[in-house]
């Protein structure tokens, strides 16, 4: 009797409740465009091709493609929170088979890498793209400007007609800088301004290798292009650092009988966390509020803390053992990272 009364009251209330719009589930009935096999659903059971029709507005296709590629839906936000608040939790969930609710680790890493480097390029590019003038400080602390190697506004015929020399600039500016000297014996590169005498960079009494001089040369020629290429090389190098970090984890925990996949997942999630910190830091810098710049720097202290807690909560060893392994792992990781950064820069000089 009571159940019937509740049913009646519920039916009366339904007409006052606004129905929420329900997204229609895609369902196709017909023949596959690829193999002409009968299709009854979203995908062809024969070749696996999606049955979706692309004869529709462009932005609809783009938004759907981006959604499929990045999966920026509830999965993304369900992944970011434990990535930050629960070190090692995502790897545990993955190994337990609970993967559907989270963004795949490698896809998350790629998205965060792309977004982080985008912000880095935006925030740290030179003030002017053409970089017509370069400024150096001499020993007296005075700023002296040099013309850059390339002046896009000059005609090539005017290059030979330039009568100014680098020596006249030096006399006029009283520059006595020990770090930057001009070397007249080196043949100048074709199509450069005659002021652009090749630079020799010195550190003490030793001349830095030719590769480093090439890097300085590249920076002076086109700083924007140099930074862009450097970030590209760095992103490629980090892809090599990922498995190497996982191998170090496998060596440090060789007696714990973990699969290599687990160490690789730890590495992926840890580097994803690094890029989350980079993104947050760069977003704070992007605001232009100088008062919060220190917070952008302090965020980076969360990275070693995250690694330490991940090692502790995932591998479940004592605090002392975890701390010792954390120090050793950090030492080797920094060597790998610095070597990777050096390789990234030197590869620019070789190309």
List pLDDT tens digits, range 155-212.
444 444 444 444 554 454 444 444 444 444 444 444 444 444 444 444 444 444 555 5
Over range 322-334, report the average pLDDT. 94
Over range 326-348, report the average pLDDT. 82
Same domain for 256 and 121: yes
Same domain for 311 and 240: yes
All residues at 6 or more sequence positions from 342 whose CB lies less than 8 Å from its CB, including other chains: none
Write down the pLDDT at residue 227. 60
Same domain for 343 and 226: yes
More confident residue, 118 or 50: 118
Over range 55-84, report the average pLDDT. 68
Angle at alpha carbon of residue 183, lines to 180 and 188, rounded to 5°: 115
Domain range for 193: 133-220
More confident residue, 160 or 308: 308
Query: pLDDT tens digits for 77-106?
Result: 889 999 999 999 999 999 988 888 888 898
Q: How confident is the model at residue 313 (pLDDT cuts 50, 70, 90)?
A: very high
**Domain contains 170:** yes
Query: pLDDT tens digits for 289-307?
Result: 888 888 988 999 999 999 9
- Torsion over CA: 80, 81, 82, 84 (sign): positive
Angle at alpha carbon of residue 240, lines to 236 and 241, rounded to 5°: 110
More confident residue, 165 or 33: 33
More confident residue, 275 or 204: 275
Q: How confident is the model at residue 154 (pLDDT cuts 50, 70, 90)?
A: very low
All residues at 6 or more sequence positions from 61 whose CB lies less than 8 Å from its CB, including other chains: 54
Q: From the centroid of its chain, how far is CA 263?
A: 21
Instruction: Give the DSSP H or E segment for 28.
Output: strand 28-31
Write down the pLDDT at residue 114. 87
Q: How confident is the model at residue 239 (pLDDT cuts 50, 70, 90)?
A: confident
Over range 316-337, report the average pLDDT. 93
The two three-digit tokens of residue 104, written as one number? 């795949």
- Last residue within a domain, chosen from 220, 251, 266: 220
Write down the pLDDT at residue 83. 93
The mean pLDDT of the chain is 71
Query: 285: helix, coil or strand?
Result: helix
Going by DSSP bridges, is the β-strand pair 38-41/180-182 parallel, antiparallel, or unpaired? unpaired
Most confident of 13-17, 125-129, 232-236, 293-297: 293-297
The two three-digit tokens of residue 41, written as one number? 């659903």
Of 31-45, 200-214, 221-235, 248-262, give the lowest mean pLDDT range: 200-214
Write down the pLDDT at residue 275. 93
**Domain contains 59:** no
CA 93, CA 249: separation in Å to the nearest integer? 19
Same domain for 89 and 199: no
The two three-digit tokens of residue 255, written as one number? 């007696």
**How many residues does the structure list for the chain?**
351
Over range 238-243, report the average pLDDT. 86
Over range 210-230, report the average pLDDT. 58
**Domain contains 66:** no
Domain tally for the chain? Answer: 2
Write down the pLDDT at residue 203. 44
Over range 49-55, report the average pLDDT. 68
Residue 137 has pLDDT above 60, yes or no: no
Q: How many Å from the N-terminal Cα to the C-terminal Cα in the chain?
A: 85
Residue 217 has pLDDT above 90, yes or no: no
DSSP structure class, residue 44: -
* Residue in the structure block whose two tokens are 């300085």: 216
> Residue 181 region, left (φ>0) first, then alpha (ψ -120 to 50), else beta?
beta
Same domain for 264 and 198: no
Same domain for 215 and 226: no
* Residue in the structure block whose two tokens are 């020399």: 165
Of 219, 221, 236, 211, residue with least CA distance to 344: 236
**Domain contains 342:** yes
Q: What percentage of the chain carries pLDDT values higher than 90?
A: 24
- Torsion over CA: 29, 31, 32, 37 (sign): positive
Query: 147: helix, coil or strand?
Result: strand
Q: What is the CA radius of gyration of the chain?
A: 29
- Last residue within a domain, chosen from 220, 240, 274: 220
* Residue in the structure block whose two tokens are 């993104």: 279
**Domain contains 60:** no
Residue 316 has pLDDT above 50, yes or no: yes
């Amino acid at each position: 009797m009571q159940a019937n009364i509740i049913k009646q009251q519920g039916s009366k209330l339904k007409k006052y409740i606004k129905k929420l719009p329900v997204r229609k589930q895609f369902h196709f009935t017909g023949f596959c465009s690829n193999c002409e096999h009968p299709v009854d659903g979203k995908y062809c059971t024969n070749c696996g091709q999606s049955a979706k029709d692309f004869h529709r507005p462009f932005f609809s296709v783009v938004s759907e493609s981006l959604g499929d590629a990045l999966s920026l839906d509830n999965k993304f936000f369900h992944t970011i929170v434990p990535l930050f608040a629960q070190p090692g939790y995502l790897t545990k969930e993955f190994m337990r088979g609970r993967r559907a609710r989270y963004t795949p680790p490698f896809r998350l890493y790629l998205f965060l890498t792309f977004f982080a480097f985008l912000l880095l390029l935006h925030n740290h590019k030179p003030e002017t793209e053409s970089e017509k003038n370069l400024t150096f400080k001499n020993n007296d602390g005075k700023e002296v400007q040099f013309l850059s190697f390339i002046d896009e506004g000059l005609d090539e015929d005017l290059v030979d007609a330039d009568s100014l020399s680098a020596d006249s600039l030096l006399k006029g500016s009283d520059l006595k800088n020990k770090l930057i000297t001009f070397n007249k014996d080196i043949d100048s590169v074709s199509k450069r301004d005659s002021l652009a005498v090749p630079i020799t960079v010195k550190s003490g009494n030793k001349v830095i290798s030719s590769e480093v001089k090439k890097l300085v040369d590249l920076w002076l020629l086109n700083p924007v292009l140099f930074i862009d290429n450097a970030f590209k090389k760095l992103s490629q190098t980090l892809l090599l650092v990922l498995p190497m970090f996982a191998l170090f984890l496998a060596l440090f925990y060789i007696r714990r009988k973990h699969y290599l996949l687990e160490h690789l997942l730890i590495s992926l999630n840890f580097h994803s966390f690094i890029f989350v910190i980079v993104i947050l830091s760069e977003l704070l810098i992007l605001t232009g509020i100088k008062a919060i710049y220190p917070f952008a720097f302090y965020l980076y202290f969360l990275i070693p803390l995250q690694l330490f807690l991940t090692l502790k909560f995932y591998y479940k060893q004592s605090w002392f053992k975890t701390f010792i392994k954390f120090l050793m792992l950090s030492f080797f990781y920094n060597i790998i990272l610095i070597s990777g950064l050096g390789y990234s820069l030197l590869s620019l000089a070789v190309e």
